């Protein structure tokens, strides 16, 4: 009994030290370094970054020289797999052709070298994280959870060095696994909390959300448009009666972390269920969290093969404390993923006319490294139309949701709603920067500039994106021939559940942009936010 109490106390100390190191040292350090790397390089920033990085890496080295470095045990293989997947993702993203290519090539090569170095000496992962999140713009929603796993590992490594002698190696390893599981599952618990706060009651979302509208809006947006509308409407007719069971199942999965640590198999089931949940989301909406799926499957396998059973009421208490602090944004800050689904979508579309006279769709998959921006709500600043919703027709007000549903594709009713509740995003300055971005990008592509580090057949090895909206009314442009002109238009669609049909309400041309080839390379970096 006394030995078990001492072991649980050691685990609690390790978890608390890891969380504190994450919150007050590792996370602020990565944020500061990545912001410096995002800016155009100069001598002062290079010196500052080198000094800070040197201190961050050499301090653990000095501590490790005085004692045996901590071992992550079987969790090391999981973390190496996460590191390899993220390195693959960031090193194979396409170039931003409005920025000098030499800097981008060096950043990708350095990232691969730091990944190998971090696999041997974990404090080097601090440099890897700063480079991935800064110069390579990797700190985006779909990669945040696995990136936080690596940040938690670095924090654990430093905490374990400081606690050498006070915490047994087995307790330190158990504390690491518990922390990693909390990092992963907190992203789902935060989503359940967000949904519970949407309506007048905590159960309102489960009972009243029209989840089938998410599938309809995703189809309108560009997901699975290779299917004919009749096939899509047949699938929607099948799913519509299942709205409430699907909503209840989603909430059960997202609330499962509250009980996950009570038993080893409960934790395995929770991690497997979240991976399956992300898979279902990808199949129905085109939003692919492949990084989360891989990380959660890896965690489930690690828990299943862990040499000790760390579950029970003490671990549940430690985990609940960590999970609730994460949900309250006190350690890390998972996104608020809660909204009402509607059948109404307004989207900006880009089209190209090639040198051969073909008219093709310019979809977000081709616009990597900004495939996420082009796959979401980019371009509203080009239109004077009031916008009612967010990505895929989502809203946060249940009364607005009801009014959109009651409109039932009536243009006049929707126009009144847009005037009352819509927001005009038109911004001439931002529109000008966006057009400059398109002009420079396609002019350089016309001149033969490489789209990314992988060319030809090797592009099949490129990591997948997270917004699968690569289909539409036109065949996709794949860079096979030069572009003469880009046309941008604004489109509104509505899915009528009663008649089971997709209605195009508005198809309005906004502007056209002529493209000319250029062989010159930009001499300075542009900011990614100029796109948005």
Tell me which DSSP letter residue 354 carries.
Answer: E
Same-domain pairing of 127 and 54: yes
Task: Return the minimum-mean-pLDDT range out of 64-68, 107-111, 166-170, 232-236.
Answer: 64-68
Of the candidates 328, 352, 369, which is a domain's last residue? 328
Same-domain pairing of 4 and 84: yes
Whether 125 has a pLDDT exceeding 90, the answer reads: yes
Task: Scan for tokens 């010196």, then name that residue.
Answer: 47
As a whole-number percent, the residues of the chain with pLDDT over 90 amount to 84
Q: How confident is the model at residue 63 (pLDDT cuts 50, 70, 90)?
A: low
| CB contact at 8 A, 502 and 494 | yes
Same-domain pairing of 278 and 357: no
Whether 40 has a pLDDT exceeding 80, the answer reads: no
Task: Return the minimum-mean-pLDDT range out of 37-41, 59-63, 73-77, 218-222.
Answer: 59-63
CA distance from start to end of the chain: 59
Tokens of residue 12, six digits: 């609690």
Same-domain pairing of 398 and 366: yes
What rounded mean pLDDT belongs to the chain? 91
Same-domain pairing of 312 and 395: no
Residue 419 falls inside a structural domain: yes
What total of structural domains would you count in the chain? 2
Q: How confident is the model at residue 310 (pLDDT cuts 50, 70, 90)?
A: confident
- Mean pLDDT of the region 493-517: 94
Same-domain pairing of 113 and 178: yes
Same-domain pairing of 292 and 433: no
Whether 117 has a pLDDT exceeding 90, the answer reads: yes
| CB contact at 8 A, 270 and 311 | no
Query: 509 lies in which domain range?
Result: 343-514
Query: Of the candidates 478, 307, 462, 506, which has an alpha carbon nearest to the alpha carbon of residue 369?
Result: 462
pLDDT digits (tens, 9 = 90+) for 126-175: 999 999 999 999 999 999 999 999 999 999 999 999 998 889 999 999 99
- Mean pLDDT of the region 504-509: 96
Q: What confidence score (pLDDT) does residue 522 get?
A: 60
Same-domain pairing of 400 and 492: yes
Residue 473 falls inside a structural domain: yes
Residue 386 falls inside a structural domain: yes
Q: What confidence score (pLDDT) does residue 479 get?
A: 92
Residue 523 falls inside a structural domain: no
Same-domain pairing of 318 and 348: no
Residue 188 falls inside a structural domain: yes
Q: What confidence score (pLDDT) does residue 430 get?
A: 97
Q: How confident is the model at residue 41 (pLDDT cuts 50, 70, 90)?
A: low
Phi, psi dihedral angles at 209 (to 5 degrees): -70, 135
Whether 490 has a pLDDT exceeding 80, the answer reads: yes
Q: What confidence score (pLDDT) does residue 164 get?
A: 86
Q: What confidence score (pLDDT) does residue 46 get?
A: 56
Which secondary-structure segment (H or E) carries 167? none
Of the candidates 302, 328, 354, which is a domain's last residue? 328
C-alpha–C-alpha distance, residues 157 and 168, integer Å: 14
8 vs 13, more confident: 13
C-alpha–C-alpha distance, residues 137 and 132, integer Å: 6
Tokens of residue 472, six digits: 């539409």
- Mean pLDDT of the region 8-32: 93
Whether 19 has a pLDDT exceeding 80, the answer reads: yes
- Mean pLDDT of the region 351-377: 96
- Mean pLDDT of the region 305-334: 93
Task: Characterise 263 by phi-psi region: left (phi > 0), alpha (psi -120 to 50), beta (else).
Answer: beta
Task: Scan for tokens 């671990």, then name that residue.
Answer: 315
- Mean pLDDT of the region 445-457: 93
Residue 206 falls inside a structural domain: no
Same-domain pairing of 155 and 268: yes
Residue 202 falls inside a structural domain: no
Whether 472 has a pLDDT exceeding 70, the answer reads: yes
Neighbouring residues of 107: CB distance < 8 A, sequence distance ≥ 6: 131, 135, 136
Of the candidates 303, 328, 353, which is a domain's last residue? 328
Query: Of the candidates 331, 335, 313, which has an alpha carbon nearest to the alpha carbon of residue 322?
Result: 331
Residue 520 falls inside a structural domain: no
Angle subtended by helix axes 75-91 and 101-120, to nearest 10: 170
As a whole-number percent, the residues of the chain with pLDDT over 70 amount to 91
Same-domain pairing of 8 and 135: yes
C-alpha–C-alpha distance, residues 273 and 296, integer Å: 9
Q: What confidence score (pLDDT) does residue 77 get?
A: 97
Same-domain pairing of 188 and 304: yes
- Mean pLDDT of the region 463-476: 95
Q: How confident is the model at residue 45 (pLDDT cuts 50, 70, 90)?
A: low
Q: What confidence score (pLDDT) does residue 525 get?
A: 46
Q: What confidence score (pLDDT) does residue 68 get?
A: 73
41 vs 246, more confident: 246
């Amino acid at each position: 009994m006394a030995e078990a109490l001492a072991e649980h106390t050691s685990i609690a100390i390790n978890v608390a030290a890891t969380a504190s190191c994450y919150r007050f040292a590792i996370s602020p350090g990565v944020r500061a370094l990545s912001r410096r790397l995002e800016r155009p390089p100069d001598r002062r920033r290079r010196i500052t970054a080198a000094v800070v990085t040197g201190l961050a890496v050499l301090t653990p080295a000095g501590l490790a020289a005085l004692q045996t470095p901590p071992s992550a045990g079987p969790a090391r293989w999981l973390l190496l797999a996460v590191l390899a997947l993220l390195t693959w993702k960031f090193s194979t993203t396409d170039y931003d052709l409005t920025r000098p290519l030499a800097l981008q090539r060096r950043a990708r090569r350095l990232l691969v070298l730091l990944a190998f170095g971090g696999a041997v000496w974990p404090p080097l992962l601090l440099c890897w994280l700063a480079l991935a999140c800064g110069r390579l713009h990797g700190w985006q929603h779909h990669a945040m959870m696995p990136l936080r796993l690596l940040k938690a590992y670095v924090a654990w490594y430093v905490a374990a060095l400081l606690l050498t002698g006070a915490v047994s190696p087995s307790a330190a390893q158990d504390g690491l696994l518990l922390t990693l599981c909390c990092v992963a599952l907190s992203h789902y618990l935060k989503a359940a909390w967000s949904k519970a706060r949407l309506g007048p009651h905590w159960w309102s979302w489960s009972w009243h959300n029209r989840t089938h509208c998410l599938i309809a809006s995703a189809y309108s947006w560009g997901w699975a448009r290779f299917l004919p509308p009749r096939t899509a409407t047949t699938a929607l007719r099948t799913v519509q009666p299942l709205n409430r069971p699907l909503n209840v199942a989603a909430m059960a999965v997202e609330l499962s972390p509250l009980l996950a640590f009570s038993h080893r198999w409960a934790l395995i089931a929770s991690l497997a269920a979240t991976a399956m949940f992300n898979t279902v989301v990808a199949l129905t909406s085109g939003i692919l969290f492949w990084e989360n799926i891989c990380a959660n499957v890896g965690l489930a396998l690690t828990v299943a093969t862990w040499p000790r059973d760390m579950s029970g009421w003490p671990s549940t208490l430690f985990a609940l404390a960590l999970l609730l602090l994460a949900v309250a944004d006190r350690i890390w800050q998972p996104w608020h993923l809660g909204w009402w689904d509607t059948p109404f979508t307004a989207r900006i579309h880009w089209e190209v006319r090639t040198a051969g006279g073909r008219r093709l769709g310019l979809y977000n998959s081709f616009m990597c490294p900004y495939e996420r921006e082009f796959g979401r709500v980019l371009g509203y600043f080009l239109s004077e139309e009031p916008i009612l919703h967010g990505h895929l027709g989502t809203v946060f007000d249940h009364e607005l949701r009801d009014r959109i549903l009651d409109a039932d594709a009536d243009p006049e009713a929707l126009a009144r709603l847009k005037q009352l509740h819509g927001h005009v995003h038109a911004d001439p300055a931002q529109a000008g920067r966006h057009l400059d971005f398109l002009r420079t990008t396609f002019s350089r592509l016309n001149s033969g500039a490489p789209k990314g580090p992988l060319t030809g057949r090797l592009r099949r090895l490129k990591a997948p994106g997270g917004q699968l909206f690569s289909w539409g009314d036109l065949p996709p442009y794949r860079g096979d021939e030069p572009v003469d002109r880009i046309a941008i238009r604004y489109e509104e669609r509505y899915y009528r559940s009663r008649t089971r049909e997709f209605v195009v309400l508005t198809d309005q041309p906004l502007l056209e942009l002529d493209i000319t080839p250029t062989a010159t390379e930009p001499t300075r970096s542009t900011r990614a936010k100029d796109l948005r």
